[in-house]
Structure 1
Amino acid sequence: MFNLNNIIRPNVLKMKAYSSARDEYKGDASIFLDANENSLGSLAGENYHRYPDPHQKQLKRKIAEIKGINPAQIFLGNGSDEAIDLLFRMVCRPGQDKMLHLPPTYGMYEVSANLNEVTMEAVQLTPKFQIPVAEVLASITPETKLIFVCSPNNPTGSLIEIESIETLLRSFEGLVVVDEAYADFSESPSWTARLAEFPNLVVLQTFSKAWGMAGLRLGLAFASEEIISVLDKIKPPYNINEATQQLALQALEHTEALRDMVEEIKQERELLLHALPALAQVEKVYPSDANFILIKVKDADGLYNYLLSKRIVVRNRSTVPGCAGCIRITVGTLEENQQLLQAISEYKTQD
């Protein structure tokens, strides 16, 4: 049976969180002389001379309302990369513990493992980009503390089978992290609806993709209140700046516009999925539940460089395990997609 205290690093269990000036005083006041801020104001605009809410209470309440979840089950980070890094710091002892990931997948899991001196176990996805569950379970050791599952997966666009993730959650006594960065472009329900069922589940989401706020760097982690309380304890005190909090609150007032934008992206994705197979350079187009498409082409390096010469930037994934000869294409605007298709159709493989 999963017990969080059994996997948290002993030093994290013992440590006390940093107590900021805004933590120590929670009432109403008209004069703040406690945090060594500039009392004359800010050249950047109103209220920016004050430190932001370290717990993002207003923003979490709004997110909780939209997601149908308890605010105490939400962690906000400087991009979901911060949550990934803090999960390593929370449960993995440097030089001792392990993580397991499923390439081809998002590269930051590996970067954070290396940064935190955590051994990586890699179990490659099947040719259909699904989890070989038996192989994963056989790879788990007592030192394995984290399993990362990206669904829809980056760079493949594939949605990971629900039954496979369920098996991992029921069989593994560490944390299963389901990264849903691209979930808004999928018809599959979010794993946030099943947090009560699986105490070892952590769900990652982001404002960088569907919400169109990549420049603000705002990521989310959803989990049990117990897990979130530990993440809050070990995060930097003011990790989400005031501008990001306020702009995110403004965006959250426009959920209907979000749905319209997501629908437009999905329509453009379908047009690309239909048009790409007809191009001579394209050998295979993989199905996608994300806002990008992975394609296998005859000459990945040549086509990539040709597109660069046309000032079109895509992602060459041909060196990633399981993605030989593949290029990843983000779904653009109608005009951008038409220019891309035209450029691919004009490219001739160099002899």
Structure 2
Amino acid sequence: MKEFNLNNIIRPNIQKLKGYSSARDEFKGEAEVYLDANENPFGTLNRYPDPQQIAIKKRLSEIKGVNENQIFIGNGSDEVIDLAFRIFCEPGKDKALTFSPSYGMYSVSAAINDVKLVELPLTSDFQINVEELNPYLKDEALKLIFICSPNNPTGNCFEGEAIQYILKEFKGIVIIDEAYIDFSTKESFINQLKNYQNLIISQTFSKAWGLAGVRVGVAYTNSDIIDLYNKVKPPYNISTLNQEAVLNKLDNLAQFEIEKNIILNEKEKLEKQLQEIELVKKIYPSEANFILIEVTNANKLYNSLVAQKIIIRNRNSLVNNCIRITVGSEKENKKLMTALKELSVTPDEVENSF
């Protein structure tokens, strides 16, 4: 097992950085008169939001079983990703690594931060090839490894043994992106935080929690890394309205479970119905709220559905002739299936049917 030393992988300028201390960072609790932040004294949203999102962290701590000082609240999980590059990777010098196909923002954030991103192809069954990865684990310039599990767009979880191996052998930061973990039958790696000081778990309120429009993500890790995130983030990165929306969801866990189970039931129905469509060649197993399917001609099928005002995700550029279908409401799913049945023909005629 490689020895992990956080100080060895932080950018020197970040180690020296003194983070901005906002007016609300310097005062805790409630007051009767606020004359510290140059705010307009009138209105209902005239005050700055809580810069540390204390109420959300307290509630998440109770739900997830982690300490409040192990939680970072970001402006979407994209901020969690971007800040990792800013904290640990020197532009034009360091590297990050992920597996392909996977979530596209890893490459975008790497490019924005001028960090080379190594993209290792997954195996034919969309798993991590540890033997191919091994040489990269010895690269001193490699600071971050991103693991999206359940993976987007493939929908599967990676084998736990492979992830454990990476956590043990890599002396940099491992970020496990669990945006879809609430839909999965697999356990979150959040239970492994106590075992690995180099582990960051990224989750989001955009998927199972139904708050994509709110843009709130979460990172769970050790308190030392959380301190770095708090030092680098903008002072008021989550608005008051967005914090309230998250708290309302967290206070209604029963409704969350009801909606999640409806989605999972709809996914099961969709998977069965897709098996009867001639255009569908393969349905990949999914641990998320979407299904990756191989079809006869992804580009033409996508365009045909767009013409009917049905939008799916064309993933042909990542996985040959594959489309990704998000599980929608019963009404939306029925409309999709009706369109697919109308487009479906016998196998011999498929290529000439569009």
Which interval holds the TM-score relative to the shorter structure? over 0.9
Task: Name the structure 2 match of 1:251.
Answer: 249
Distance 1:325 1:27 in 2: 56
Residue type of the partner of 2:117?
M
Q: 2:327 aligns with which of 327, 331, 342?
A: 331
- Counting only pairs closer than 5 Å after superposition, residues 77-156 of structure 1 correspond to structure 2 as 77-140=74-137, 141-156=139-154
The answer to whether the 8 Å contact 2:205/2:211 transfers is: yes
Q: Counterpart of 1:102 in 2: which secondary structure?
A: strand
Q: 2:40·2:46 contact (CA, 8 Å) conserved in 1?
A: yes
| Alpha-carbon contact 2:94-2:143 (below 8 Å) kept | yes
The 8 Å contact of residues 296 and 351 in structure 2, kept in 1 or not, is answered as no
The AA in structure 2 aligned to 1:3 is N
**Which SS does the other structure have where 2:194 is aligned?**
coil
* Alpha-carbon distance in structure 2 between the residues aligned to 1:80 and 1:240: 12
Displacement after TM superposition at 1:240 (Å): 0.5
Q: Which amino acid aligns with 1:329?
A: I
Cα separation, 2, equivalents of 1:237 and 1:225: 18
Give, as a single letter, the amino acid of the residue that structure 1 aligns with 2:125.
K
Equivalent in the alignment of 1:283:
281
What residue number does 2:338 align with? Answer: 342
Percent identity reads 49
Query: In structure 2, what is the Cα distance between the partners aligned to 1:159 and 1:200?
Result: 20
The alpha carbon displacement at 1:27 in A equals 4.9
In structure 2, what is the Cα distance between the partners aligned to 1:205 and 1:27? 28
Aligned length: 344
Match of 1:214 in 2: 212
- Pick one of 249, 260, 263 that aligns with 1:262: 260
Instruction: Name the stretch that deviates more: 262-271 or 208-217.
Output: 262-271
Letter in 2 for 1:2: F
**Unmatched tracts of structure 2, length 5 or more:** 345-349
Match of 1:34 in 2: 36
C-alpha displacement at 1:28, in angstroms? Answer: 3.9
**Matching residue of 1:232:** 230
Aligned-partner residue type, residue 21 of structure 1: A
Aligned partner letter, 1:325: N
Shift of 1:137: 1.7
| CA-CA distance at 1:256 after TM superposition | 1.1
Structure 1 residues 162-215: Cα deviation after superposition (integer angstroms, max 9, x where no partner): 001000000000011100000000111111111000111100000000000000
TM-score normalised over the length of structure 1: 0.96
**Residues in 1 aligned to 2:280 and 2:126: alpha-carbon distance in whole angstroms:** 19
- Contact 1:121–1:139 (CA under 8 A) maintained in structure 2: no
CA distance in 2 between partners of 1:284 and 1:26 (Å):
56
> 1:338 corresponds to which letter in structure 2?
K
String of CA shifts for 1:282-320, please: whole Å, max 9, x gaps. 000000000000000001111101111111100000011
Query: Would the aligned equivalents of 1:302 and 1:350 in 2 still touch at CA under 8 Å?
Result: no
Name the aligned partner's letter for residue 50 of structure 2.
D
> Which stretches in structure 1 are left out of the alignment for 5+ residues?
none
Q: Which residue of 137, 154, 164 maps to 1:166?
A: 164
Runs of at least 4 residues off by over 3 Å: none
SS in structure 1 at match of 2:274: helix
Counterpart of 1:185 in structure 2 is: 183
Letter in 1 for 2:322: C
| TM-score using structure 2 length | 0.96
Deviation at 1:245, TM superposition (A): 0.7
- Shift of residue 24, structure 1, vs aligned partner: 2.0
Over the aligned positions, Cα root-mean-square deviation in angstroms equals 1.0
SS in 1 for 2:24: helix
2:62 corresponding residue in structure 1: 65
2:154 and 2:178 map into 1 onto residues whose CA distance is: 14
1:52 aligned onto 2:54? no
Aligned to 2:11: 9
Distance 1:149 1:61 in 2: 27
Q: Distance in 2 between matches of 1:133 and 1:145?
A: 17
Give the equivalent residue in structure 1 for 2:347. none
Q: Secondary structure at the match of 1:123?
A: strand
Q: Choose the corresponding residue for 2:24, options 22, 25, 31.
A: 22
